[in-house]
Amino acid sequence: MNIVILAAGQGKRMHSHLPKVLHPLAGKPLVSHVIGTARHLLPERLCLVYGHGGDAVRASLDAPDLAWAQQEPQLGTGHAVMQALPHLAQEVPTLILYGDVPLIRAETLNGLLHAAQEGLAILTVKLADPAGYGRIVRDAAGGVARIVEQKDATAAERQICEVNTGIMALPTARLGEWLGRLSNDNAQQEYYLTDVIGLAVAAGVTIRTVHPQSDWEVLGVNSKVQLAELERIAQRLNATRLMEQGVRLADPARLDVRGGLECGRDVFIDVNCVFEGKVVLEEAAEVGPHCVLKNARIGAGARINAFSHIEDAVVGPDSVIGPFARLRPGTELGAGVHVGNFVEIKNSRIAAKSKANHLAYIGDATVGSRVNVGAGTITCNYDGANKFRTIIGDDVFIGSDTQLVAPVVVGRGATLGAGTTLTRDAPPDTLTLSRARQISVAGWKRPEKLKK
């Protein structure tokens, strides 16, 4: 089939500079959800009709398989599909989707395409409150006669609660012919795609209607209120999928996945965590409350404690991170690493069983195994112009409040005394310290307040 995605509408009610279809839902643009679903159906041609904010839309979608049809000015849905016609293969049917109806399921569309094999099929729903939608007008025998838009409908037609979702599948060659016959003689002075239904009926084409399994599939986004409603639905779907795969969620209503979250069995996620980009939680990993994980891999059995922030990082199996830890891009932790509160790590590799349990900054460092990084230790990796690496061998013990002024190497098994400012390499298996000698002044007296 051909697939046409209509996305030229202005989206005035979003009150935004961003074109409507680029507003993010579950971390990606609305229209990207539709494109993703469309690709599942393996269309021969995939065409996006764009208009408002066209350049921004083109620039932000990485879609080499997409044909772009500009609609300028926007004279209605029928006019929009007309712009796509030159891109469509004549011998296969055409499926119309909306760029602002992001949660439509591929299974539903397959059902619609199947129903269109004998002619034309429309996806419809019955709504308790059909206001605003085009109504499906049926003849005495119950067949579809036409679609009438709300603004053109009579009072009696407005009572009809079966509405047009806008999603339909049609025979392409006939579609071209019908579109050519549309007029804009209606309340909105637009070329309505919905008017092709009346023409198809007149031509004796079989018209079937199909319903989605759930009404949320056909919900559109016209405002930020609706966007937020759809976000909750999308997140509930994410949560359900994860739980069905064996993930335990403290509260499925307090989970936000803005990208792809892949989980092993027996993973546990506490409340109010945000997952962005591609995150992998391996078997039995646990994420405490209020954590943000972006493009991260968390090893099996690792525990991320409350309020930790992890981005572009890998955490080894059985490691314990946080609470209040920050792993910045380029952090790679081996197995059983402990990173405690107020520890920041950037662009560093830390091998198995090393610990930095309190208040430390480790940047541009390579740290061996079983290293103990004392509280208040920092790598001075930046001289104001350039960055340098710190290399710390296996089994090193770094006393509290140590500054490692990079570039510097700490040999394996070395011990650095507390308070050391290390500016030269420290030899292996040796105590190194830089510290003013402690003195005690005998007979010294505290000053007393002067008498006036």
**Rounded to whole angstroms, how far apart are CA atoms 380 and 290?**
30
Do 301 and 320 form a contact (C-beta atoms < 8 A)?
no
Instruction: Determine whether 418 is exposed, middle or buried from the number of CB atoms within 10 Å of its CB (0-12, 13-18, 19+).
Output: middle
Structure-token pair, residue 350: 């830390």
Residue of 223, 185, 234, 178 lying closest to 201 (CA atoms): 178
- Min separation Cβ 37 and ligand UD1, Å: 14
Residue nearest to Ca ion (CB): 220
The amino acid occupying position 38 is: A
Tell me the backbone φ, ψ of residue 166, rounded to 5 degrees.
95, -20
- Cis check for the bond before 428: say yes or no (omega within 30 of 0): no
Pick one of Ca ion, ligand UD1, none as the site partner of residue 74 (Cβ within 5 to 8 A by kind): ligand UD1
* Rounded-to-integer distance, Cα 343 and Cα 123, Å: 54
User: Please, which residue, 7 or 291, has the CB nearer to ligand UD1?
Assistant: 7
Task: Please identify, using beta-carbon distances, which residue of 137 and 422 lies nearer to ligand UD1.
Answer: 137
> Which is closer to Ca ion, CB of 104 or CB of 327?
104
Tell me which long-range contacts 294-297 makes (C-beta under 8 A, separation of at least 24): 296/327
**At 191, which amino acid appears?**
Y
* 347 contact choice in Ca ion, ligand UD1, none (CB below 5 to 8 Å, kind-dependent): none
Question: Rounded CA gap, 124 and 97, in Å?
Answer: 13
Q: How far is the CB of 331 from ligand UD1 (least distance, A)?
A: 42
* Residues in 206-225 that interact with Ca ion by CB under 5 A: 220
| Least distance between ligand UD1 and beta carbon 170 (Å) | 13
Residue number of the CB closest to ligand UD1 reads 134
- Residue 119 interacts with which of ligand UD1, Ca ion, none, CB < 5 to 8 Å by class: none
Residue 171 near residue 120, CB atoms below 8 Å: yes
Q: Smaller CB distance to ligand UD1: residue 189 or 423?
A: 189
Which one, 37 or 164, has the nearer CB to Ca ion?
164
Is residue 366 a contact partner of residue 383, using CB atoms and an 8 Å limit?
no
**76, interface contact from Ca ion, ligand UD1, none, CB < 5-8 Å by kind:** ligand UD1
Q: Quick one: DSSP state of residue 83?
A: H
192 contact choice in Ca ion, ligand UD1, none (CB below 5 to 8 Å, kind-dependent): ligand UD1
DSSP conformation letters of 128-179: S--TTSPEEEE-TTS-EEEEE-GGG--TTGGG--EEEEEEEEE-HHHHHHHH
The rounded distance, in Å, linking the Cα atoms of 3 and 367 is 53
Catalytic residue among 17, 33, 211, 358: 358
Catalytic (active site) residue 358: yes
* Run of H or E residues at 228: helix 224-244
- 350 closest CA partner among 376, 383, 321: 321
Query: How far apart (Å, rounded) are the C-alpha atoms in residues 411 and 424?
Result: 11
Pick 220 or 374: Cβ nearer Ca ion = 220
Q: How far is the CB of 138 from ligand UD1 (least distance, A)?
A: 15
Binding site for ligand UD1 (CB under 6 A): 6-9, 49, 71, 74-77, 79-80, 98-100, 133-134, 147, 149, 163-166, 192-194, 220
Query: From Ca ion, ligand UD1, none, which one binds at residue 194 (CB under 5 to 8 Å depending on kind)?
Result: ligand UD1
Residues touching Ca ion, count (CB under 5 A): 1
| Contact between residue 395 and residue 369 where contact means Cβ atoms under 8 Å apart | yes
Which of 9/363 has CB closer to ligand UD1? 9
Q: Which does 166 bind (CB under 5 to 8 A by kind): Ca ion, ligand UD1, none?
A: ligand UD1
Minimum distance of ligand UD1 from residue 113's CB (angstroms)? 19
Measured from the CB of residue 151, what is the shortest distance to ligand UD1 in angstroms?
9
For the CB of residue 242, give the shortest distance to ligand UD1 in the complex, in Å: 30
Query: Interface with Ca ion by CB under 5 A: which residues?
Result: 220
**Could you list the active site residues?**
358
